[in-house]
Amino acid sequence: MSKKYLPKYQKLTAKLLSARLEAGLTQVEVGKKLKKPQVYLSKIERGERGVDVVELAELAKIYNKDINYFVK
């Protein structure tokens, strides 16, 4: 059974995916930077796993984006 997230959360996951692609990184590469498996990032991007503010800040740094990019 899949979870249904609010539209704002769906927008966040779409921005995370877009930022990763803009940065030219694969899920495997980002996972290595975070010291997490690729599936960790995959689940975040599919909305199957939530992301907290600390994780979001780490991803923003990796993607060279201001954290506000993801929450506005």
Cβ neighbors of 22 (< 8 A, separation 6 or more) are 63
Lowest mean pLDDT among 30-34, 49-53, 63-67: 49-53
Question: 16 with 59: CB under 8 angstroms?
Answer: yes
pLDDT at 2 over 60: no
pTM: 0.87
- Report pLDDT for 38: 97
User: What are the extents of the domains in the chain?
Assistant: 7-71
CATH class for the domain made up of 7-71: mainly alpha
**Amino acid in the structure at residue 46:** R
Alpha helices by DSSP H, 1-72:
7-22, 27-34, 38-45, 53-62, 68-71
57-70 pLDDT, tens digit per residue, is 999 999 999 999 99
